[in-house]
Amino acid sequence: MHVTLVVHKHKRLGRGIELAALAEDLKARDVGLEFLTGELKGSHDPSGMVFTVLAALSGMEREYIRDRTPEGHESARRRGKTIGGAHVTDEAMLSMALHPPPSRARRASTPAHPGRRSASATR
């Protein structure tokens, strides 16, 4: 039986080094690769030129994102937008964030229905 890894779009597959390791793993397991959409739509050999091009493109995209992120944050700050989580407004808020009440922590670790497993645990 031939196995094929089906991916919606090549950008969802991985980045740079991850992609190279994945290509080696797929080749070792004799698994094919198929993209459902995008420029690379269709079936491909995971050890072929496609992965080399994908690794190069994803590396360039990662650098582009890394360069553009600070610019986006600065633009948002100029418009008065907040980047990140909630701001600590006073000592009481800081204390609450660093040391939540015991009842809060206990509630988060206790299942809603003892004896019943959550949906995520059964997947």
The better pLDDT of the pair 123, 35 is held by 35
Query: 102 in a domain, yes or no?
Result: no
Rounded CA-CA distance 45/48 in Å is 5
The token pair at 116 is 């019943």
Q: Which of 15-19, 50-54, 75-79 has the lowest mean pLDDT?
A: 15-19
Residue 5, pLDDT score: 85
The better pLDDT of the pair 84, 121 is held by 84
In the chain the first and final C-alpha atoms are separated, in Å, by 25
Query: 34 in a domain, yes or no?
Result: yes
Residue 122, pLDDT score: 45
Query: 28 in a domain, yes or no?
Result: yes
Query: 10 in a domain, yes or no?
Result: yes
Q: 104: pLDDT confidence band, cut at 50, 70 and 90?
A: low
Query: 51 in a domain, yes or no?
Result: yes
Query: 99 in a domain, yes or no?
Result: no
Residue type, 61: E
Whether residue 15 contacts residue 58, with contact meaning beta carbons closer than 8 Å, is answered with yes
Rounded CA-CA distance 4/33 in Å is 5
pTM metric for this prediction: 0.43
Instruction: Residue 67: give the domain boundaries.
Output: 3-78
Q: Is a pLDDT exceeding 50 seen at residue 123?
A: no
Residue 118, pLDDT score: 45
Q: 15: pLDDT confidence band, cut at 50, 70 and 90?
A: low
Can you tell me which residue has the tokens 């509630």?
107
Rounded CA-CA distance 95/61 in Å is 40
The better pLDDT of the pair 73, 107 is held by 73
43: Cβ–Cβ under 8 A, 6 or more apart, which residues? 4, 32, 33, 34
Query: 61 in a domain, yes or no?
Result: yes
The better pLDDT of the pair 11, 2 is held by 2
Q: How many residues does the chain have?
A: 123
Query: 33 in a domain, yes or no?
Result: yes
The structural domain count of the chain equals 1
